[in-house]
Structure 1
Amino acid sequence: MSIPLLDLKAQYLAIKDEIDLAVLNVLDSAKFILGPEMKALEEEIAAYCGTKYAVAVANGTDALVLTLKAMGIGPGDEVITSPFTFFASAETVAQVGATPVFVDIDPVTLNMDLNQLEDKITSKTKAIIPVHIFGQMVDVERVLEIAARHDLKVIEDAAQAIGAEYRGRRAGSIGHAGTFSFFPTKNLGGYGDGGMIVTSDEHLAAELRMLRFHGCQTKYYHEKLGFNSRLDEIQAAILRVKLKYLDQWNQARRERAAAYDELLAGQPLMVPGKDGQALPIYHLYVIRLPGRDLLLENLKKHGIASGIYYPVPLHLQRAFRYLGYKEGDFPVAEKACSEALAIPCYPELTQVQQTEIVKVIAGFLAGE
């Protein structure tokens, strides 16, 4: 049996007629950049997340860069984030000239350990970027309480968490801003790159709109040095179709995750940890165990795809060697990187496929 880590073809076929029509309508309109589809998507995403504004950009990395720039963060500043995340969470801090500062992660949720957060704040700290890893939210309200004591901005990196909730509030809506990625593998993914920033700060939203379009409010009149970071109409139209299904798809992921939790109970591995206040969306279902690489190879031998998220924590990445971190500085993140393995978990995954995946895992753990 061949089982992919994610089946984008199956998702497309389920809504093919709607997607095809949406794309053809854009082609027929001959409006491809900064058009009505993008503006409608911004309104719909803002309403979905519970914010006043949403600003569409070219990708999730740009969403972080533009937000940092719009908040005036740059050389000489420090920004705190997690070492257990995709590279962009810290790369973007360095790209605006600031210094990434890391906080180790919670051993259960793999999100930032908020008990260690305040110890990392210095006179140079200007912002905190909590990452909602694998679709489970951090307690952003607690982050905001800490940030308020030090006059800091909070940017939710919600690239993997659109639709996730914490105490009934959706990802992106609690901090001063939230950023999303619409990379094809995300729970809400386009058929190319795409990103979004949400906020309820009117001034910040206006600044972001200006920065995404070469620093101008009126074409050819440039007030600042900006960027070329716009979500095209075809991607916006596709995302508008898929947004209608997002809650349904997220619920299906939760059901698949619950089935895994039950099927894997008693096995010598860790299933994804839970925060009782959070409603996760399981962008990835990540198990943890020593000997992870051997299990990956065994799954591959049986035609089952899996993925390592992430093989190297950010503080040990070669690109961040200049920061001076060393092995052992963030032991929980380092341990997670040596043990974490994502197995297939998506709405189209069948009960038969899940049973087969668990059978192979159990056989491996039993030494068969």
Structure 2
Amino acid sequence: MKIQMLDLSEQYLSMKDEVIAKLDEVMSSSQFILGSNVKQLESDVAKYSNVAHGIGVGNGSDAIHIALQAAGVETGDEVITTAFTFFATGGAIARAGATPVYVDIDPVTFNINPSKIEEAITEKTKAIISVHLYGQMADMEAIKSIADKHNLVVIEDAAQAIGAKQKGKSVGELGTAATYSFFPTKNLGAYGDGGMIVTDDSDLAEKASVIRVHGSKPKYYHHVLGYNSRLDELQAAILNVKFPHLDKWSNSRRERAAYYTEKLNEKLGDVIQTPVEKEGNHHVFHQYTLRVPDRDELQNYLKVQGVATMVYYPMPLHVQPVFKELGYKEGDLPETEKAAEEAISLPMYPELKRKDQDFVIEKIVEFYSN
């Protein structure tokens, strides 16, 4: 058996003709930069997020950076976030000139723990970035309450969570802005890089739209320091073909997650911890992530058996060498550090076959039985 973490080939074959026709349409139009496909995707994704504005940018990392800058975050400010996330979250804060302030996570969801946020707020705090890790939203009600009390911006890093909901509210509705990544492995993935900011804040949307084109408005007149970070027209065209299938794919992920959970709890419920979907949440399972003992040994065993797995993330941001000047040390965020030692993600994608899931489950049970 050879079971990949993600196999995009079946998905591509199911829409190959439509994708090629759409790309040919773009090439024939010769409209390659911020054309009709970008505008359509911006409108559709904003509507899907129940907000007024979508701003397509070059990638998910730039989406966070530009959203922070458009929200007024600048040198000398502090931004509170989680250290248990991809580097882009902390990197975007630093690139905006601000200081990342890391707080610990909820051990059940792996998301930022709202009870740790308020004690980290200082007179320099300007924003909170809530990362919706693995496809489940952080506790936005609690985070928004703290932000409103202290007049802080809230950016939802939803790179892994397009389509996720909380108490009927979509990603983007509960923060100042939300950011998406269209990296190929994401639930809605392009065939290259891409990202988007969604927001109800017209002023933030306007500023972000200017920042992504070198800070230029009108053209060749520059009032702010911006960047060249535009969502590519060809990538937008591909995403427009894929977008109508997103909810179906999310439901397929949820079905596969439910099967993993049922079978693993049945056989190993006293050994491992399967994902917990908090009440009121709609989890879209970008990743299916377990907490397990002997994680590295399990990963090596599964690799030998032909099962691919991934560790998201083995080194939290607060102890990354690039952030050493912030002064964090091991032990500062115990739940984050424990998660980094125990988390392992299993193969997860909409087309994943039941027989492949059964094989993965069998091999995990085999490992712990031995």
TM range (shorter): over 0.9
Q: Which residue of 1 aligns with 2:51?
A: 51
Task: Look up the SS of the partner of 2:348 in the other structure.
Answer: coil
CA distance in 2 between counterparts of 1:290 and 1:78 reads: 35
Task: Look up the SS of the partner of 1:357 in the other structure.
Answer: helix
- Cα deviation for residue 84 of structure 1 reads 0.4
- Cα deviation for residue 107 of structure 1 reads 0.8
Contact preservation (8 Å) 1:108, 1:274: no
- Of 323, 326, 332, which residue of structure 1 is paired with 2:329? 326
Q: Which residue of 2 aligns with 1:247?
A: 247
Give, as a single letter, the amino acid of the residue that structure 1 aligns with 2:302.
Answer: L
- Cα deviation for residue 223 of structure 1 reads 2.0
Q: Which residue of 1 aligns with 2:317?
A: 314
Deviation readout 1:40-60 (Å, 9 max, x if unpaired): 110000111100000000000
Q: Which residue of 2 aligns with 1:20?
A: 20
CA distance in 2 between counterparts of 1:16 and 1:304 reads: 28
Q: Which residue of 2 aligns with 1:350?
A: 353
Aligned residues: CA RMSD? 0.8
- Cα deviation for residue 10 of structure 1 reads 1.6
Task: Look up the SS of the partner of 2:116 in the other structure.
Answer: coil
Task: Look up the SS of the partner of 2:332 in the other structure.
Answer: coil
Task: Look up the SS of the partner of 1:231 in the other structure.
Answer: coil
- Of 318, 342, 346, which residue of structure 2 is paired with 1:339? 342
Give, as a single letter, the amino acid of the residue that structure 1 aligns with 2:279.
Answer: G
Deviation readout 1:212-266 (Å, 9 max, x if unpaired): 0011122212222211000111000001111100000000000000000111014
CA distance in 1 between counterparts of 2:309 and 2:302 reads: 7
Q: Is 1:363 the equivalent of 2:363?
A: no
Q: Is 1:279 the equivalent of 2:282?
A: yes
CA distance in 2 between counterparts of 1:169 and 1:11 reads: 28
Q: Which residue of 2 aligns with 1:102?
A: 102
Deviation readout 1:298-329 (Å, 9 max, x if unpaired): 11111111001100011010111100001000
Contact preservation (8 Å) 1:173, 1:198: no
Task: Show structure 2 runs of 5+ residues with no match.
Answer: none
Task: Look up the SS of the partner of 2:344 in the other structure.
Answer: strand
- Cα deviation for residue 113 of structure 1 reads 0.7
Deviation readout 1:273-302 (Å, 9 max, x if unpaired): 221111000000011112111111111111
Q: Percent of pairs identical after alignment?
A: 51
How do 1:137-152 and structure 2 match up within 5 A? 137-152=137-152
CA distance in 1 between counterparts of 2:277 and 2:247 reads: 20
TM-score, normalised via structure 2 length: 0.98
How do 1:119-268 and structure 2 match up within 5 A? 119-265=119-265, 266-267=267-268, 268=271
CA distance in 2 between counterparts of 1:28 and 1:45 reads: 25
Task: Look up the SS of the partner of 1:286 in the other structure.
Answer: strand
TM-score, normalised via structure 1 length: 0.98
Task: Look up the SS of the partner of 2:345 in the other structure.
Answer: strand
CA distance in 2 between counterparts of 1:347 and 1:70 reads: 35
CA distance in 2 between counterparts of 1:141 and 1:108 reads: 17
Q: Which residue of 2 aligns with 1:288?
A: 291
Task: Look up the SS of the partner of 1:183 in the other structure.
Answer: coil
- Cα deviation for residue 161 of structure 1 reads 0.2
Give, as a single letter, the amino acid of the residue that structure 1 aligns with 2:243.
Answer: L
Task: Look up the SS of the partner of 1:245 in the other structure.
Answer: helix
CA distance in 2 between counterparts of 1:311 and 1:10 reads: 30
- Cα deviation for residue 172 of structure 1 reads 2.0
> After TM superposition, what 4+ stretches of structure 1 lie above 2 angstroms from structure 2?
none
- Cα deviation for residue 75 of structure 1 reads 1.4
Task: Look up the SS of the partner of 2:197 in the other structure.
Answer: strand
Task: Show structure 1 runs of 5+ residues with no match.
Answer: none
Q: Which residue of 2 aligns with 1:298?
A: 301
Give, as a single letter, the amino acid of the residue that structure 1 aligns with 2:81.
Answer: T
CA distance in 2 between counterparts of 1:75 and 1:206 reads: 21
Contact preservation (8 Å) 1:257, 1:285: yes
Deviation readout 1:116-141 (Å, 9 max, x if unpaired): 11111111100000100000001212
Contact preservation (8 Å) 1:215, 1:227: yes
Task: Look up the SS of the partner of 2:107 in the other structure.
Answer: coil
CA distance in 1 between counterparts of 2:223 and 2:112 reads: 37
CA distance in 2 between counterparts of 1:144 and 1:288 reads: 28
Task: Look up the SS of the partner of 1:257 in the other structure.
Answer: helix
Deviation readout 1:310-354 (Å, 9 max, x if unpaired): 000110101111000010000001000001111011111011110
